[in-house]
Amino acid sequence: QVQLAESGGGLVQAGGSLRLSCAASGRATSIYFMAWFRQAPGQARENVATIRWSDAHTYYADSVKGRLTISRDNAKNTVSLQMKSLKPEDTAVYYCALQPRLAGRYDYWGPGTQVTVSS
């Protein structure tokens, strides 16, 4: 089984920065995409940032473009999310996820880490 574990969440004031990390461990698996999702209370889960493992090509939700940056460490099987200029509406539980193949879905998920942005 593949395990994902997020770290780095917490409480920050509006305008501040946080860096989230996610490490993959356990059974070896291929990686096509890794991504960060978030879910605020009463709202649907949202894909905010995705990275294609082979060439580090990135995709972002419009709501976070220019403020969030996803990156990966191929050797360590880790993905990070650098967040700056945070807004109260960024408050959510942030999850990392792994999709092993292009023709597939996000099969593996971390337990999530809380990010709270105070106004």
Task: Output phi, psi for 94, to 5 deg.
Answer: -105, 130
Question: For residue 27, what pLDDT is reported?
Answer: 86
Q: pLDDT of 35-64, one tens digit each?
A: 999 999 999 999 999 999 999 999 999 999
> SS3 for 50-75, per residue?
EEECCCCCEEECCCCCCCEEEEEECC
Residue pair 114/20 in contact by the 8 Å Cβ criterion: no
Region at 2 (left for phi over 0; alpha for psi -120 to 50; beta for the rest): beta
Residue 22: Cβ within 10 Å count: 25
Residue 29 scores a pLDDT above 90: no
- Looking at the chain, the whole-number percentage of residues with pLDDT higher than 70 is 100
Residue 28 scores a pLDDT above 90: no
